[in-house]
Structure 1
């Protein structure tokens, strides 16, 4: 009988405490409801104000999210103090600090990618649509979030790259400018007048479609190859991969046509370089 009386006393005490705390719970729920309404309106106002600037969309979403999170933190703190009167804002902040440290160690990679994403958005050097290359990954930037960046390869595969990788490693932005320098190697025979050949090549490249002739065309005699003198040809054209391939195609065709018209030979490599493995060369006796 003593156990039953003890249990009854405990249940009565719990019921009495719940009834006593009920007004505080109702007030806390009201505070959370007001917090939800204020957070919605505040995020809309922040979005309208930031929308008038030139800040990129993902960074705008970051600011509105931070405003919403800050309001919810304040609302939850107020509701907790109302429900638990013994809980002071100082003790609550201390508990949040210890919890933040523990969470930070547990989710170190996530926070690293988050802050890297914020810094990538702030520096605004890598834009949506840019062609980038980083650690063997090459493609078009489709989307930048706070944790990862979506890169679509030139063969249409999607690669999800952690932001910390793009922030800590060198990133080549191939489309940072509208124009980029392209180059090709042209070999001419050893009996060719190199000055004349360089002039023929230069004029052919300048007349090719898509070449920015005002930026200049460079033709340099580069090295003595096995069967030719190799010349490095450089020119300016569009920076996108498609523009580069199209420009290279037109330039190679124009150079071949101009050299043929000028009777300048483009020699074949020595025969020893053209035979595949397993093909025997004829014997030469004597």
Structure 2
């Protein structure tokens, strides 16, 4: 009982508080060193941003790639600074232990965010490979439009109807991408038929001159008109020409070429046939010529009735 009575709670608490204060005082140099390292890291990260903003290679590299490189370097600077600050603040924490913890954490994060990292790597490959530029018109997996922005995770495609589509970079990296504006001009094709009774060479000449007269057709690349096939009611010509590669250039050029060919064939008296249809009856037909057709039109053909 005497031992229990001799316990002094106040002394015990005072000893504990004293130990805590001593630990805090001992931690002050380490904490100040860690804070100094963090301050230097912050200044270094700011300098990285300034250097990337003023570096001469910006004029030769796409802005999205410059922004990605700046972000990656900034993250690397901060990770290094935090690692040094943690080792200074906690001497028992060695760099080996920190790196091991980062490795396990990175593995868990990688498994949890697999799709995000996949799109991240695909975004880097797209930016480094330079398969398409901002403003290009592309088509991929049924999505067609103008490349408006390329980020690390996805690309922004503005469709011709005004809708914005955010496409994951992994989709653009894994599937075929048609870059329609890779060249300034693009070849167009149109099929036009003339009647079997028309002269093929004369029709070809009329069509060629009509296409040449269109201002939306390139005059630096050849216009080609070839007889293609014997169709059911016409001889078809394949007309090819070159025009601007944008979708609006394609539509305007096609509209003007169709109108010019139609006017030229009409002026030359060359028939553009419509499908002919032949009707076959099982029974003989009698032609009734005793009365004109409905409406009193004397030029209307006589009516036909089955026997």
Partner of 1:140: 146
Alpha-carbon distance in structure 2 between the residues aligned to 1:248 and 1:137 = 22
Deviation (angstroms), 1:43: 2.3
Alpha-carbon distance in structure 1 between the residues aligned to 2:253 and 2:105 = 58
Which segment is superposed worse, 159-168 or 36-45?
36-45
For residues 165-194 of structure 1, what are the alpha-carbon distances to aligned partners after superposition, in whole Å with 9 as ceiling and x for unaligned?
001000001111000001111111111111
In structure 2, list runs of 5 or more residues that go unmatched.
279-302
Which segment is superposed worse, 41-50 or 196-205?
41-50
For residues 123-167 of structure 1, what are the alpha-carbon distances to aligned partners after superposition, in whole Å with 9 as ceiling and x for unaligned?
112011111000010001100001110000000000000000001
The 8 Å contact of residues 211 and 235 in structure 1, kept in 2 or not, is answered as yes
SS in 2 for 1:267: coil
Deviation (angstroms), 1:213: 3.2
Please tell me whether residue 233 in structure 1 is matched to residue 212 in structure 2.
no
Structure having the larger proportion of residues in helix: 1
Task: Determine which of 64, 74, 97 is the counterpart of 1:68.
Answer: 74
Partner of 2:200: 194
Deviation (angstroms), 1:59: 0.6
Alpha-carbon distance in structure 2 between the residues aligned to 1:97 and 1:22 = 30
The 8 Å contact of residues 184 and 245 in structure 2, kept in 1 or not, is answered as yes
Deviation (angstroms), 1:47: 2.9
Partner of 2:306: 285
Partner of 1:151: 157
Task: Determine which of 100, 117, 130 is the counterpart of 1:124.
Answer: 130
Please tell me whether residue 256 in structure 1 is matched to residue 256 in structure 2.
no
The 8 Å contact of residues 110 and 117 in structure 2, kept in 1 or not, is answered as yes
SS in 1 for 2:186: strand
Partner of 1:275: none
Alpha-carbon distance in structure 2 between the residues aligned to 1:19 and 1:44 = 38
Alpha-carbon distance in structure 1 between the residues aligned to 2:260 and 2:11 = 101
In structure 1, list runs of 5 or more residues that go unmatched.
273-281
Question: Larger Rg: 1 or 2?
Answer: 2
Deviation (angstroms), 1:52: 4.7
Task: Determine which of 78, 81, 90 is the counterpart of 1:84.
Answer: 90
For residues 26-69 of structure 1, what are the alpha-carbon distances to aligned partners after superposition, in whole Å with 9 as ceiling and x for unaligned?
22122111110111012211332254540000011112112211
Alpha-carbon distance in structure 1 between the residues aligned to 2:56 and 2:107 = 31
Alpha-carbon distance in structure 2 between the residues aligned to 1:228 and 1:85 = 90
TM-score when normalising by structure 2: 0.83
Partner of 1:59: 65
Sort the Cα spacing of 1:72 and 1:50 in 2 relative to 1 into closer, same or farther, 3 A. Answer: farther
The 8 Å contact of residues 134 and 166 in structure 1, kept in 2 or not, is answered as yes
The 8 Å contact of residues 179 and 238 in structure 1, kept in 2 or not, is answered as yes
Alignment length (residue pairs): 277
Alpha-carbon distance in structure 2 between the residues aligned to 1:6 and 1:109 = 59
SS in 2 for 1:215: coil
Partner of 2:215: 209
Partner of 2:275: 269
Sort the Cα spacing of 1:146 and 1:283 in 2 relative to 1 into closer, same or farther, 3 A. Answer: farther
Deviation (angstroms), 1:225: 2.4
TM-score when normalising by structure 1: 0.89
The 8 Å contact of residues 34 and 85 in structure 2, kept in 1 or not, is answered as yes
SS in 1 for 2:155: strand
Which segment is superposed worse, 89-98 or 59-68?
89-98
RMSD of aligned residue pairs (Cα, Å): 2.4
